[in-house]
C-alpha cells in the first residue's frame, strides 16, 4: 500500500476548488444535505494513516486470522476468494472477542447498572481524541455520575473497544483497510452505519455489518429489522456511491427521499469522485469507471426485480429492546 501516494492524492484533492451544484432555486435543506455528504466523504481518509495501520498490525491476531481464513477457503465451495474469507474471519473475531456493545456503561465504582441523565461537552483530552459528544450516566446503586465519551476516530477506539453502531463501523472498516481490502464506510440517513468490502472473486461490493456479524446480507435491515430507510451512501478513498437500492428493495415501504433533489446528490457524488480520482493514473481511472458501470447496472437491476430472501433474515441482535423500538428496528 503506497501511503505516500495516498497522502499526496488527499492533499491535491483538498487543494482543488470545490464545484458546487446549481442550488439557486433549491431549498436550504439541499445546501445542508450537500455539505453533509461532502463532510461524510472525508471519513475513509482517516483510515489511511500509516502510523495507525502499524498500530492495527500490532493488535490484530494475524496468525489466527490467516489460519481461519485458510480453513474457510478449504471448506468453501469456491464462490469466495481468500481475501473474502479473511474478512469473514476478521468479522467473527471482531464481534466475538475484540469489540463490545454498550447500551449503558456499568458503574466504574460498584459495577451496578446506570441510566442516562444527559450529555455534556467533551473535555480537552476527549476533544483531542475526536470526541464530539459525552453522554452522562448515573449509577442505579451508588448514584455516582459517569461520563461515556462517543468517539468517532479510530485511534481511541482501538483501545476502548466499545461503543454502539458508529464506533463499531468506524473501527471495523479501518481494520478491513489494514488487512488490505478495499473498504467502504456506508452511512444511512436513519442513523446506522456499516461496511462494504470489494470482492475481487465476485467483482462486486459486499455488505458487512460488524455489529450483527452479518456478511453479504444487504436485506437484513429492511426485511430482518423492519427498518425504514431513505438514503444509503458508501464512501471510500476512491469513490462515493449512492447504494440505496442495494438495501432498499421496497421504496414504497421506506422513508421518502426528500432531503434534496436527486440531481443534487448525483452532481455531488460525481464531483467528489472526480476529486478523489484526479491524481490517479489514466489506467486506474479507467478501471474505476468500468467498476462504476458494473455497479450501476447491478443497482438498477434491484429496482426491476423481486429479490426477497429465500430464508428469514434475523432481527437485530445489538441494542436494548426499548432502544430498537425507538429506532424502528424491532423486527417485522
Strand 145-151: give its sheet, edge to edge.
114-120, 131-139, 145-151
- Catalytic one of 107, 139, 165, 260: 165
Radius of gyration of the chain (CA): 20
Is position 165 annotated as part of the catalytic site? yes
Is position 267 annotated as part of the catalytic site? no
Q: Which fold has domain 32-53+164-321?
A: C8orf32 fold (3.10.620)
Task: Tell me the three state secondary structure of residue 101.
Answer: strand
- Catalytic one of 139, 192, 238, 242: 192
Class of domain 114-158: mainly beta
List Cβ neighbours of 244 (8 Å cut-off, separation of 6 or more): 229, 230, 231, 232, 233, 257
**Which candidate, 290, 163, 310, 172, places its Cα nearest to that of 239?**
290
CA distances from 51 to 61, 155, 162, 215 (A): 18, 10, 22, 29
Is position 209 annotated as part of the catalytic site? yes
pLDDT in tens, the chain (332 residues): 555 555 565 555 544 444 455 544 566 778 889 999 999 999 999 999 999 999 999 999 999 999 999 999 999 999 999 999 999 999 999 999 999 999 999 999 999 999 999 999 999 999 999 898 999 999 999 999 999 999 999 999 999 999 999 999 999 999 999 999 999 999 999 999 999 999 999 999 999 999 999 999 999 999 999 999 999 999 999 999 999 999 999 888 889 999 999 999 999 999 999 999 999 999 999 999 999 999 999 999 998 766 555 468 888 989 888 888 888 888 76
Q: Which residues face 193 on adjacent strands? A: 187
**Contact (Cβ atoms closer than 8 angstroms) between residue 107 and residue 142:** yes
DSSP 197-220: EEETTTTEEEEEETTTTEES-TTI
| Annotated domain spans of the chain | 32-53+164-321, 114-158
Q: How far apart are CA 130 and CA 118, in angstroms?
A: 20
- Catalytic one of 209, 238, 242, 260: 209
**Which candidate, 207, 192, 205, 222, places its Cα nearest to that of 314?**
222
Helices (H), 179-281: 244-247, 262-277
Amino acid at each position: 500500500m503506497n501511503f505516500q501516494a495516498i497522502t499526496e492524492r488527499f492533499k491535491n484533492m483538498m487543494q482543488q476548488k470545490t464545484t458546487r451544484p446549481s442550488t439557486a432555486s433549491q431549498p436550504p435543506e439541499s445546501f445542508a444535505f450537500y455539505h453533509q455528504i461532502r463532510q461524510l466523504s472525508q471519513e475513509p481518509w482517516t483510515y489511511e494513516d500509516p502510523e495507525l495501520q502499524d498500530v492495527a498490525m500490532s493488535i490484530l491476531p494475524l496468525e489466527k486470522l490467516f489460519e481461519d481464513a485458510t480453513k474457510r477457503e478449504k471448506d468453501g465451495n469456491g464462490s469466495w476468494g481468500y481475501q473474502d474469507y479473511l474478512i469473514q474471519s476478521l468479522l467473527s473475531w471482531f464481534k466475538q472477542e475484540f469489540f463490545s456493545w454498550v447500551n449503558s456503561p456499568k458503574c466504574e465504582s460498584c459495577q451496578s447498572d446506570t441510566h442516562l441523565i444527559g450529555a455534556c461537552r467533551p473535555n480537552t483530552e476527549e476533544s483531542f481524541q475526536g470526541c464530539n459528544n459525552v453522554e452522562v450516566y448515573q449509577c442505579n446503586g451508588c448514584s455516582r455520575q459517569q461520563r461515556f465519551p462517543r468517539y468517532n476516530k479510530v485511534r481511541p477506539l482501538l483501545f476502548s473497544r466499545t461503543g454502539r453502531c458508529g464506533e463499531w463501523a468506524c473501527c471495523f472498516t479501518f481494520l478491513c483497510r489494514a488487512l488490505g481490502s478495499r473498504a467502504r464506510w456506508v452511512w444511512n440517513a436513519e442513523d446506522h452505519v456499516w461496511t462494504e468490502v470489494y470482492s475481487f472473486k465476485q467483482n462486486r461490493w459486499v455488505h458487512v455489518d460488524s455489529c450483527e456479524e452479518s456478511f453479504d446480507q444487504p436485506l437484513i435491515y429492511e426485511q430482518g429489522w423492519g427498518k425504514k430507510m431513505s438514503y444509503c451512501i458508501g464512501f471510500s478513498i476512491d469513490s462515493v456511491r449512492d447504494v440505496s437500492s442495494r438495501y432498499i428493495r421496497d421504496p414504497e415501504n421506506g422513508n421518502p427521499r426528500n432531503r434534496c433533489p436527486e440531481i443534487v446528490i448525483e452532481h455531488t457524488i460525481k464531483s467528489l469522485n472526480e476529486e478523489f480520482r484526479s491524481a490517479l493514473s489514466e489506467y486506474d481511472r479507467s478501471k474505476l469507471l468500468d467498476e462504476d458501470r458494473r455497479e450501476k447496472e447491478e443497482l438498477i437491476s434491484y429496482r426491476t426485480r423481486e429479490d426477497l430472501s429465500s430464508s428469514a433474515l434475523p432481527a437485530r441482535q445489538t441494542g436494548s429492546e426499548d432502544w430498537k423500538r425507538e429506532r424502528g428496528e424491532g423486527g417485522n
